[in-house]
Amino acid sequence: MKNNFDVVVIGAGPAGSVAACKLMKEGFTVKVIEKMEFPRFVIGESLLPHSMDFLDELDLLKCVEDQEFQVKTGACFYHNEERCDFLFSDQFTQGWTYTYQVKRADFDNALIKETQNKGADVEFKAEVLEVKTGKDQQYVKYLNENNEEIELYCRFVVDASGYGRVLPRMFKLEEPVPTPPRSAVFSHFDDSKRTEEAGRNIFIHAFNDNTSWIWSIPFSDGTASVGIVGNTDYIEECAANDGQKFKELVADFPGLDGRYANVDYKFEPRTVSNYAVSVKQLHGEGYILCGNSTEFLDPIFSSGVTLAVSSGYKAATLVSNFLKGENVNFDDYSVELKKGIDVFRSYVNGWYDGTLQTVFFSDKTNDDIKRQICSVLAGYVWDESNPFVKKHSTVLKTLAKVVQL
């Protein structure tokens, strides 16, 4: 059977768009199959500067800039009454000093439209049902918007299906995660009471002995995303009765100074339950996974979209080399991706066990250290010249002990 396309990409989120654009840039034909009609809502609205490197490399920045999203220059963490600001203009790695806070419906839509403009065959309202992979040819069956089953053949499949986790489920690649089950409840609120002092960057406030935290992410249209993350039992309680406890917490939260009291919210609170996911392997014969289809740890450092676009880019680079007949070791991809994810893992663990709060809110943490941590928070988790990347598994604990002395 003749191949219809070089590569089929499952999912039109940021990982799928970036993978498709990289593959087209290398001269391959790409079909993107997307289950939903776009624009569609998805959570994950605060980007990291490192994501800009991949968008820039693939000429995807202009379509993002055209949306006039809220510029994000840093992140602001709170704990009790203490505040700790990180500014991306003052960081260790030479990288982007800003990025954006985006409504994902608009962001993802802008990226996939530009991907279409560059030549990808994108089909919306089309759900992948079956994938059979082999050495030389891959088979994909999907249901199109007219409820017809369509079969096609390609040389490689990139799974960028995010929370859909198409191939991890189909090929039984899912693996349990060792962290306690955590969930989130969130909505969008009118944010016209925001003050200059509060700033426009993402605000994160730990509470309940560091087991929970609240985010506020201002958007450029005068609204904001507000959500609470915590142990699943606690979030279920917050989300019960149409999110009554969530709405009360948001209205009265001390660090938010009544900013969201008596304001309109744009939709009933939604939840994402037990969001952490993992897989046994990131690739196999004829397929590769990227974005949330691989592993998702935690939203605390807004790493999801950055990992999605970086893994989409890295996966597509390997696939393209492979299709060009080069000798490719796909394990390099797993090793490379794991390096970055493991750095974030140390920081996520440090956030929930309190190590990071000790470091963030100590007046003994000097500017050099803050700059190095700031680069991790900017997403530069592959810069091994940064000691806070290279020695991520030990450096935070050691530093926390030192500042406590």
Ligand X SMILES: Cc1cc2nc3c(=O)[nH]c(=O)nc-3n(C[C@H](O)[C@H](O)[C@H](O)COP(=O)(O)OP(=O)(O)OC[C@H]3O[C@@H](n4cnc5c(N)ncnc54)[C@H](O)[C@@H]3O)c2cc1C
Least distance from C-beta 320 to ligand X, angstroms? 19
Nearer to ligand X, 306 or 358 (CB): 306
**Cα 69 to Cα 334: distance, rounded to the nearest angstrom:** 33
Counted residue by residue, the chain has a size of 405
Between strands 70-72 and 99-101, the pairing is: antiparallel
The residue written with tokens 């935690």 in the block is: 298
**Cα 324 to Cα 402: distance, rounded to the nearest angstrom:** 52
Judged by CB under 6 A, does residue 167 bind ligand X? no
Query: Of residues 305, 318, 343, 374, which one binds ligand X by CB under 6 A?
Result: 305
- Residue 387, CA atoms < 13 Å, CB-side half-sphere: 9
Q: Judge contact between 118 and 403, C-beta under 8 A.
A: no
Of 30-38, 84-92, 279-287, 315-323, which part binds ligand X (CB under 6 A)? 30-38
Judged by CB under 6 A, does residue 286 bind ligand X? no
Judged by CB under 6 A, does residue 379 bind ligand X? no
Of 149, 116, 164, 122, the C-alpha closest to 37 is 122
Taking phi over 0 as left and psi of -120 to 50 as alpha, with beta for the rest, 181 belongs to beta
Of 36-44, 55-63, 252-260, 329-337, which part binds ligand X (CB under 6 A)? 36-44
Judged by CB under 6 A, does residue 36 bind ligand X? yes
Between strands 82-87 and 74-79, the pairing is: antiparallel
Nearer to ligand X, 290 or 389 (CB): 290
Least distance from C-beta 83 to ligand X, angstroms? 19
Q: Judge contact between 88 and 73, C-beta under 8 A.
A: yes
Judged by CB under 6 A, does residue 12 bind ligand X? yes
Judged by CB under 6 A, does residue 45 bind ligand X? yes
Of 55-63, 92-100, 132-140, 159-167, which part binds ligand X (CB under 6 A)? 159-167
Of 273, 348, 349, 360, the C-alpha closest to 303 is 348
Nearer to ligand X, 11 or 255 (CB): 11
Query: Of residues 164, 168, 269, 286, which one binds ligand X by CB under 6 A?
Result: 164
Least distance from C-beta 80 to ligand X, angstroms? 23
Tell me which DSSP letter residue 181 carries: P
Query: Of residues 7, 8, 10, 348, which one binds ligand X by CB under 6 A?
Result: 10
Judged by CB under 6 A, does residue 377 bind ligand X? no
Give the DSSP H or E segment for 318. helix 304-323
Query: Of residues 15, 214, 315, 378, which one binds ligand X by CB under 6 A?
Result: 15
Q: Which residues bind ligand X (CB under 6 A)?
A: 10-16, 33-36, 42-47, 127-128, 160-164, 166, 184, 227, 272, 275, 291-292, 296, 299, 302, 304-306, 308
